[in-house]
A and B are shown apart, each in its own frame.
Chain A
């Protein structure tokens, strides 16, 4: 069965640079979620999209933005990167009308030097 695909799996950037992470949800899933997990931390909810519209917003910095495209893939854009942005970024998708289970991707590890 198809799973949630995230790319790139690893990314190294310098401070003040920009990074873009991509997420391809499971086909026919209508909701995408982004989470950030810092070293030794639990995953923190950043933002979600339902049918390409932002549906909820968590602790996402103003330097970050995200969107969901017509093909339902989503991108998380991070600008003016800081050392503290180094984390594992998870994308998850779900079918809202279904049981409510989120299916997580393997994550994208961002390292800011």
Chain B
């Protein structure tokens, strides 16, 4: 069975500072990995995705993530945070064998200080 852990429930970061959100997954083979962002009461917006190939993935809004098989991690990073980045971030894992069903992590809420 696949699972995802996001160790940080809340992160507070100053505007302009860098941000890193941690994601660890559990799955025997190479999974599909995703990061979504959700503003309060809104839908899920896909930031980036990893299926195979280059382990450093570029996404929208200046985000990037790196797949590290040895650490079973897919951490999300942004060099300089904007106030509009305040939101809930979800890491998710899927795989073909499970019909591409996604399993989400518990989410990390990001607060941005002015």
User: Which residue numbers of A lie inside 8 Å of B, CB to CB?
Assistant: 31, 33, 42-45, 48, 50, 55-56, 58, 88, 90, 92, 94, 96, 99-102, 104-107, 109
Contact = CB atoms under 8 A, between A and B. Distances in A.
A103 B106 CA distance: 20
6 contacts: A31-B100, A45-B101, A45-B103, A99-B32, A101-B49, A102-B100
Contacts of B106: 42
Interface of B: 32, 34, 41-44, 46, 49, 51, 90, 94-96, 98-107
Given A42-B90, A42-B107, A43-B90, A102 B41 contact: no
Interface of A is mostly: strand
Given A31-B100, A43-B104, A56-B98, A100 B51 contact: yes
Contacts of B49: 101
A17 to B, nearest CB: 23
A99 B51 contact: yes
A102 B102 contact: yes
Given A99-B51, A101-B49, A102-B94, A94 B100 contact: yes
A56 B97 CA distance: 11
A44 B96 CA distance: 18
B103 to A, nearest CB: 7
B41 to A, nearest CB: 7
B43 A105 contact: yes
Contact of B99 (A48, A99, A105, A107): A48
B44 A43 contact: yes
Given A101-B49, A106-B43, A42 B105 contact: yes
